[in-house]
Structure 1
Amino acid sequence: MPQNFKTEFLHPRHWMTWTGVTILWLLVQLPYPLLVKLGRTLGRLARPFLKKREYVANRNLELCFPAMDNFSRSTLLTDNFTSLGMALIETGMAWFWSDARLRKHFDVEGFANLQRALDQGKGVMVVGVHFMSLELGGRVMGLCRPMMATYRPHNNPVLEFVQTRGRLRSNKAMIDRRNLKGLVSALKKGEAVWFAPDQDYGRKGSVFAPFFAMQNTATTNGTFVISRLSGAAMLTITMIRRKDNAGYCLYIGDMLTDYPSGNEQAAAGYINKKIEDEILRAPEQYLWVHRRFKTRPLGEAASY
Structure 2
Amino acid sequence: MRLLVGLVWLLSWLPFRVISGLGWLLGSLIYLLPTSRRHIGTVNLRLCLPDMPESERQGLLRAHFVAMVQMLLEYGYGWFASRERLKRLMRIEGLDHLKALDGRNVILMMPHFTGLDLAGLRISLETPVVSIYSVQKDPWLDAFFRAKRLRFGTGIIFARQQGTRPTLRALRDGYRLYYLPDQDFGHRDSVFVPFFGVPAATIAGLSRMAAVGNATVLPCYPRREADGYTLVIEAPLDNFPSADVVADATRMNAVIERQARRQLHQYFWLHKRFKSRPPGDPDFYAP
The TM-score, its normalising length taken from structure 2, stands at 0.94
Aligned 1:144-293 pairs, distance under 5 A:
144-170=126-152, 171-178=154-161, 179-214=163-198, 216-242=199-225, 245-293=226-274
> What amino acid maps onto 1:42 in structure 2?
L
> What amino acid maps onto 2:3 in structure 1?
T
Give, in angstroms, the shift of residue 107 of structure 1. 2.0
Judged with a 3 Å threshold, the aligned counterparts in structure 2 of structure 1 residues 177 and 117 are, in CA distance, closer, same or farther, namely: farther
2:31 equivalent in structure 1:
47
In the alignment, the residues of structure 2 paired with residue 69 and residue 268 of structure 1 have an alpha-carbon distance, to the nearest angstrom, of 30
After superposing the two structures, state which structure 1 stretch, 256-265 or 60-69, moved more.
256-265
Contact 2:210 2:241 in 1 (8 A): no
> What amino acid maps onto 2:282 in structure 1?
A
Contact 1:90 1:135 in 2 (8 A): no
1:203 alignment partner, SS class? coil
5+ long unaligned stretches in structure 1: 1-16
> What amino acid maps onto 1:223 in structure 2?
L
In the alignment, the residues of structure 2 paired with residue 208 and residue 287 of structure 1 have an alpha-carbon distance, to the nearest angstrom, of 19
* RMSD over aligned Cα atoms: 1.5
2:112 equivalent in structure 1:
130
In the alignment, the residues of structure 1 paired with residue 47 and residue 128 of structure 2 have an alpha-carbon distance, to the nearest angstrom, of 37
Identity across the alignment (%): 33
2:171 alignment partner, SS class? helix
> What amino acid maps onto 2:41 in structure 1?
A
Q: Deviations over 1:108-127 (max 9, x none)?
A: 111010112233x3x11111
Contact 1:294 1:302 in 2 (8 A): yes
1:94 equivalent in structure 2:
78
Give, in angstroms, the shift of residue 105 of structure 1. 2.3
Does 1:139 find its partner at 2:115? no
1:144 alignment partner, SS class? coil
Aligned residues: 283
In the alignment, the residues of structure 2 paired with residue 194 and residue 253 of structure 1 have an alpha-carbon distance, to the nearest angstrom, of 14
5+ long unaligned stretches in structure 2: none
